[in-house]
A and B are shown apart, each in its own frame.
Chain A
């Protein structure tokens, strides 16, 4: 690890002059909310890359906002990405990692090296674990709930059917309340776009409130079409799947990487967090939180935030750009929102009720770190109604040079506590109201 970091540091120092040729990052607050400031496109010779060295948590814990407390409920995990609470209080932890992908360009050798060093040496478990709450806030040690999955990510229970979104298929498992292990092989409901190239591999998953439909977020197969448009068939889209038949249609398109989907509880509208494109500046393009309109096109790859054309895409499609709509709420650039959950419980302070928690995995394509925290977006009448607030921070050290962990999926457990999967600290955190 340390030799790799030294090498990255050396290469980084050598290329500092090139990377420094870009615009200075702005205050991220100018890009949070409904009308983000969008600077001009800047194309680099060497895009800024900054990742922190992984040091783990030791005895440290993340910092929480006033009125909250935090504890670890599972440690020593293997790349936990998503947490999900079953109705009996059991907590499922999805350990997933990227499937092997081919190297198509010299650049990808370097990119893979940077990504690996941002994640640490732990190999993903590619399985689902279970922890059960015990007396006095204790939890059982994690046990294997479903094993031998293929880059799993999204998970949702509808009645007695538990759905897991592997990178290449939605699988259905039979589940009975209280079960601690499922050994029955999953039954494939529908295939999803996957390899051999599988650039954005995570398949987020949720179910409609009435349980008849499943929604899957399928990410693009590239940053910005560099693997060709042929690789993008049915990708950068949110799929709607009929639960009974497995038939699917594209519910919304142009969403580059929709990494989490949730229904807003008051209005019953589908919301998504989406990761936008890289390498055109530290402040382009802001990642976002948006309600998802049936049939809408959100721009990728041709444009962003409505009709802002991306110069890297040819041939262009003016007909599609003309009907591209801007998303509802920008979260600022390169924060990498991966987790989304609405506060429907009563455990956390009343100020959080009805709003959205967003897990921000954190930036790499930026000279100044952004994200690496869980934020709260207040909602009123089912719409965002104010500036995002920090809820859980301290994933980075104060000097931004070392990283304890990185937040991914977030969920509420049956008591209304906020659960956070941390795929670099290899921990699941539980945030409760200070008095509870």
Chain B
């Protein structure tokens, strides 16, 4: 017999797409906070440009992260039943709204494209991601969401 785990519906060769892609916006939005801090300390526009590109790339990849995440969410009742999934989904939704807002702020020119609003938004985004990433890891490593069931002897 096998111990059954919640299945990922959006997958390639058995690998869940959402779990593969989700690292990209996490790294991008985390990086934005770091380069925003670097700009605020140096006034070197190169750092603010980094932030603008990382927000843009993070948001672009997020389109696919959201789509595959929703497919997985709707594809298996057992996923919807997990409390962590709701915190993960709603939290990431909120983080995404902040990141979109932040991308517009970063489209301003020079100092006020980062300080103070951009820097605050970058910080809040990372704060929320810290919680939702923790939840995401619980989903995978404790509840086995998207993990292939292991045959038991």
Contact = CB atoms under 8 A, between A and B. Distances in A.
Nearest to B44: A228
B23 interface: no
Contacts of A226: 45, 48, 109-110, 113
A358 interface: no
B64 interface: no
A425 to B, nearest CB: 31
Given A45-B104, A46-B104, A106-B56, A313 B49 contact: no
A224 B109 CA distance: 6
29 contacts: A18-B104, A45-B107, A46-B107, A104-B49, A105-B53, A105-B107, A106-B53, A106-B56, A106-B103, A107-B107, A222-B110, A223-B109, A224-B109, A224-B110, A225-B109, A225-B110, A226-B109, A228-B45, A228-B46, A279-B108, A279-B109, A311-B111, A312-B109, A312-B110, A312-B111, A312-B112, A313-B110, A314-B115, A315-B43
Contacts of B110: 222, 224-226, 312-314
Given A18-B104, A45-B101, A314 B49 contact: no
A266 interface: no
Interface string B108-142: 11111101000000000000000000000000000
B33 interface: no
B145 interface: no
Determine chain A's interface SS by DSSP, over half rule: loop
Contacts of A279: 108-109
Contacts of B65: none
Interface residues of B, number: 21
Nearest to B102: A45
A46 B105 CA distance: 8
A226 B115 CA distance: 14
A311 B112 contact: yes
Contacts of A225: 45, 109-110
With most chain B CB atoms within 10 A of its CB, the pick from A107, A222, A312, A313 is A107
Given A106-B56, A226-B45, A228-B45, A44 B111 contact: no
Interface in B57-115: 101, 103-105, 107-113, 115
B17 interface: no
A160 interface: no
Nearest to A223: B109
A43 interface: yes
A71 interface: no
B108 A313 contact: no
A107 B52 contact: yes
Contacts of A18: 104
Interface string A33-74: 000000000011110000000000000000000000000000
Interface of A: 18, 43-46, 104-107, 222-228, 279, 311-315
A185 to B, nearest CB: 38
A225 B49 CA distance: 13
A426 B29 CA distance: 46
Contacts of A104: 49
Given A279-B109, A312-B110, A313-B110, 4 more contacts: A105-B53, A107-B52, A226-B110, A314-B110
B104 A43 contact: no
Given A45-B101, A106-B52, A106-B53, A312 B45 contact: no
B113 to A, nearest CB: 7
Contacts of B49: 104-105
A58 B109 CA distance: 39
A106 B105 CA distance: 13
Closest 9 pairs between A and B when the two form their complex, measured CB to CB: A45-B104, A226-B109, A106-B56, A314-B111, A312-B110, A228-B45, A107-B107, A314-B43, A224-B109
B45 A227 contact: yes
With most chain A CB atoms within 10 A of its CB, the pick from B48, B107, B110, B111 is B110
B105 A45 contact: yes
A235 to B, nearest CB: 15
Contacts of A46: 104, 107
With most chain A CB atoms within 10 A of its CB, the pick from B53, B103, B111, B113 is B111
Contacts of B53: 105-106
B111 to A, nearest CB: 4
A389 B73 CA distance: 65
